[in-house]
Chains A and B, each alone.
Chain A
């Protein structure tokens, strides 16, 4: 995976995870253009498109679009499953997640993503294990002001 973007129906970015080195300016341009392209698509269209020699997989959940750019050899259908797994994780963590949760707790959304994917690939295929790790880390954050060395 090269990057993942979450954005609203109005085109506002809610999360951006980049797995390839690009400057801030380049990232902004890509986000802006891609978001426009996807928002322009009709609901009946399929979830995959070719955009500037990238394979894009996207899916809308309520008011949020989840959009990934994958490599040529990547399986588009399983990418849809990856997206779905991430949504499930958010859902379990926040309890019936909605866009507002992600807006107000964006850093948590990132933490969860970073327990699920690393370097663009899935690191843990068990929902339970991802959530357990997040739980423990949250606990660590709360409990200890200082980490033992």
Chain B
């Protein structure tokens, strides 16, 4: 059997292949040769063959049949074999296959080898690809080597320990004693790897961290080492562009960061050295900037004093001006992290950040954009928005969606005026219209609706935009909606903000119909435009044209469109009397929770009156009087008594509670013990009482209503007009109880706004029987001279299954006929 060809020979041969097929052929041939050589258990050339296999593996060809051979090489005595064997193991073996466990014993032996380079190979392999099982088995060996005086091995053992801890965190403790003395080494390799090991331990175990901080006093130690590095003279061995061992400096700074985080004392102890590094590090080369970068990260993360923080931000600011784009990149990344906590300091660099929007690099642009949005506030909104909109115009498509969203959010939070807000949104829709998120259409519609004074301006601008371009769907949808709503303003040329355009109804309908037929319109857009056309039927005079359009689409293939058209058709035919009401102007919409506070949200001018108002006629509760008393009182008596309800329980305080319930009252105690309370009211009672029985039947004209229904108690109101005085509504309450237990001591109390007057007659009883077996009725008379909308607040108290129940409710659903 001829000797297998040498590695270099093979590489040369394979590289001469001109096609992929040729290469594959060569590889297959060689693999076959290698396979037979492996079968023959040839020790001499195994190393060479595996090396060739590794080369072919790198080209992408399968090499799994070499795995066992690697293990054999590792077990060999020859250093050459071991070198290739371990390399092969790291490349071909993978901890998910059990095969790798066969290595464990070899590695164990090699860890104890007399030659440090063999030990080194074993440590390296274990630290690179050791599985958890292997780590568990060999942790002891690693720990032993951590204590050796041989720095070559010690540094490797430290990193191997890091890997072991990552794989088997529970083993961390066993390395603790050996780690203690690592920092007293002079050897930089050992120092560096020790710092890495300590960092790993701190990150994994808060207890360790505390231990290092308090017991080992790690911070002063590290500060000292760092100081020596900086202060010591030129050391050729570790020098990089004039800086002594930057790798070690960076790792120490990182460990300091972890130790100083949320600990005042540690942070103070490292304050000086951080300031020193920050000011004295040479910044002309990447190496110096790498150290500064790490320093800044540390300063921002620990509890540093404000002077130091400002220093850090300024360093970042200088980074932003650096020619090196890598430096600009890290600066923007760091600023993004700190913008929340040190907002003002970052603001100072705003113009530089905005300039970065024009950078050529995609990552820098993205960061600059994110940072710019974070820096927008009420003061700089106009300027910033100009830049951001310009960016939106020219940026890559991948940014447009995020940028558009950002613009909307910022505009919502800080818009200086309504007009500016609408203009900004229009600008976004026209430049990046196809990239805006779906919810921006309804949000914008809401905004437009609520900016009442801008309606004419808005619809005009949107109309003009439609004339230019109908391809951007969100814009088209919003425009259609607006034209549908405010088309009347459009044709009447009412715009104040800018020169009103002259447009006829037909022109507007042309545009909307154009949307319906255009290929560019999506089904959703078509829906918008059809509805808009329909709405114009109450705003425009060319109703016939609209009717025609709507009827055409009654047979549209698009089901949604067809349904709309058919319904609108029906609206024209059978329900024409409802059409105006249905197609009325939209009211102000309630803003649901959005991402930011909306300061520009306005109501339509009037504030909702609070219900009910403070002063009103309370119901004063008193011990019972029978209906008979009424007749007595009626005898020509001017003074109007207030008829009381029966109240089995505490009288006065109950009334007081009612007073509380209804807000502050200027009525004094007001609970006269006598049944007839002299109140200076117009004698409406006389009017009312003369005609109506207490228990009345409902008038057909006014439908009854359920005023309250809760916990099994239902109270229905039935109405009748008191004939002599149409301003008086007579309401009878019917209280029923669906629960299994009676509601006893039932008391119904009511209060009305101050423009009304109320009288409550005595109830039929104060027990609401269970399971609807009966009801309690009571008459309320309400005088409503101003014919205002009737509102009432009721208080219910009763005892149910032994426990007292109390409830308050507002009754607002009175039918219009009861008070009109």
Binding site for B on A (CB under 8 A): 12-16, 19, 21-24, 28, 42, 44-50, 73, 75-78, 80-82, 85, 103-104, 106-107, 110-111, 114-115, 118-119, 121-129, 133, 136-137, 140-141, 144-149
Contacts and interface: CB of A to CB of B under 8 A. Distances in A.
A3 to B, nearest CB: 11
Contact of A80 (B12, B188, B237, B286): B286
Contacts of B329: 46, 48, 76
B798 to A, nearest CB: 63
A48 B330 CA distance: 9
A147 B58 CA distance: 29
Interface string B291-308: 001100100000000000
Given A107-B54, A123-B159, A75 B127 contact: no
A111 B114 contact: no
A145 B78 contact: yes
Nearest to A22: B94
Nearest to B109: A149
A126 B189 contact: yes
Contact of B360 (A15, A45, A127): A45
A50 B286 contact: no
Nearest to B163: A119
B326 interface: yes
A48 to B, nearest CB: 6
A126 B360 CA distance: 37
B293 A118 contact: no
A47 B326 contact: yes
A75 B364 contact: no
Contact of A133 (B80, B152, B360): B152
A42 B64 CA distance: 37
Given A21-B129, A80-B326, 20 more contacts: A21-B95, A48-B326, A75-B254, A77-B286, A77-B327, A77-B330, A78-B246, A80-B290, A81-B246, A81-B286, A82-B247, A114-B124, A118-B193, A123-B192, A124-B155, A126-B237, A137-B120, A140-B79, A147-B82, A149-B114
Contacts of A103: 11, 15
18 contacts: A13-B58, A19-B128, A24-B64, A28-B60, A46-B328, A76-B330, A78-B246, A81-B246, A81-B247, A104-B8, A107-B83, A110-B87, A111-B87, A114-B128, A123-B193, A146-B77, A147-B78, A148-B115
B245 interface: yes
Given A81-B240, A118-B123, A125 B245 contact: yes
A126 to B, nearest CB: 5
Contacts of B120: 115, 133, 137
Q: Sorted from nearest, which 10 A-B pairs have the closest CB atoms?
A: A77-B290, A119-B127, A46-B325, A124-B189, A118-B159, A78-B290, A125-B247, A119-B163, A126-B237, A45-B361
Contact of A125 (B58, B83, B238): B238
B526 to A, nearest CB: 40
Given A23-B94, A78-B294, A107-B84, A136 B246 contact: no
A127 B15 CA distance: 33
A55 to B, nearest CB: 10
Nearest to A24: B94
A103 B8 CA distance: 9
B117 interface: yes
Nearest to B253: A75
Contact of A118 (B15, B83, B127, B360): B127
A50 B77 contact: no
Interface string B163-186: 100000000000000000000000
B51 interface: yes
A123 B87 contact: no
A121 B162 contact: yes
Given A77-B330, A81-B287, A50 B117 contact: no
B128 A46 contact: no
A137 B156 contact: no
Contact of B79 (A85, A104, A147): A147
B135 to A, nearest CB: 12
Contacts of B286: 77, 80-81
B359 to A, nearest CB: 9
A146 B118 CA distance: 12
Contact of A44 (B78, B188, B360): B360
B363 A123 contact: no
Nearest to B203: A73
Residue from the set A28, A49, A121, A149 with the largest chain B CB neighbour count within 10 Å: A121
A148 B123 contact: no
A33 to B, nearest CB: 14
Contact of B294 (A22, A75, A110): A75
Interface string B1-31: 0000001100110010000000000000000
Interface residues of B, number: 75
A19 to B, nearest CB: 6
A46 B290 CA distance: 15
B124 A77 contact: no
Interface string B316-351: 000000000111111000000000000000000000
A118 B294 contact: no
Given A45-B361, A118-B123, A75 B152 contact: no
Nearest to B193: A123
A12 B54 CA distance: 15
A118 B77 contact: no
Contact of A147 (B59, B77, B127, B364): B77
Contacts of B96: 21, 23
Contacts of A127: 237
Contacts of A82: 247
Contacts of B11: 103-104
Contacts of A125: 188-189, 192, 238, 245, 247-248
Contacts of A73: 254
B631 interface: no
A126 B94 contact: no
B289 interface: yes
Given A50-B363, A126-B189, A78 B247 contact: yes
A29 B36 CA distance: 31
Contacts of A13: 58-60
B432 interface: no
A89 to B, nearest CB: 13
A95 to B, nearest CB: 17
Interface string B120-158: 100110011101000000000000000000001001100
Contacts of A115: 120
A23 B156 CA distance: 26
Contacts of A126: 188-189, 237-238
B511 interface: no
A75 B246 contact: no
Interface string B84-95: 100100010011
B362 interface: yes
A44 B330 CA distance: 16
A84 B77 CA distance: 35
A29 B759 CA distance: 84
A122 B91 CA distance: 20
Contacts of A15: 58
Given A16-B58, A107-B87, A146-B78, A136 B162 contact: no
A75 B290 contact: yes
Interface in B72-116: 77-80, 82-84, 87, 91, 94-96, 113-115
Nearest to A110: B87
B783 interface: no
A118 B160 contact: yes
B756 to A, nearest CB: 66
B294 to A, nearest CB: 5
Contacts of B160: 118-119
A134 to B, nearest CB: 10
Contact of B156 (A46, A77, A123, A140): A123
Residue from the set A44, A78, A111 with the largest chain B CB neighbour count within 10 Å: A78
B189 A123 contact: yes
Nearest to A142: B80
Contact of A107 (B51, B79, B113): B51
